[in-house]
Amino acid sequence: MIVAFSVAPSGAGGNPDGSVHEAVAQAVRVVRESGLPNRTSSMFTEVEGTWDEVFDVVKRATEAVAPYGSRISLVIKADIRPGFDGEIDGKLERLERAIADSGQ
pTM, two decimal places = 0.88
- What distance in Å separates the CA atoms of residue 104 and residue 101, rounded to the nearest whole number? 6
Contact 44, 3 (CB under 8 A): no
- The CATH number of the domain holding residue 28 is 3.30.70.930
Average pLDDT over residues 6-30: 85
> How confident is the model over 19-39, as pLDDT tens digits?
889 999 999 999 999 999 999
Domain of residue 90 covers: 1-103
- In this structure, what are the phi and psi dihedrals at residue 24, rounded to the nearest 5 degrees? -65, -35
Task: Reply yes or no on whether the pLDDT at 100 is more than 80.
Answer: yes
pLDDT, tens digit (0-9, with 9 covering 90-100), for 84-95: 999 999 999 999
Number of domains observed in the structure of the chain: 1
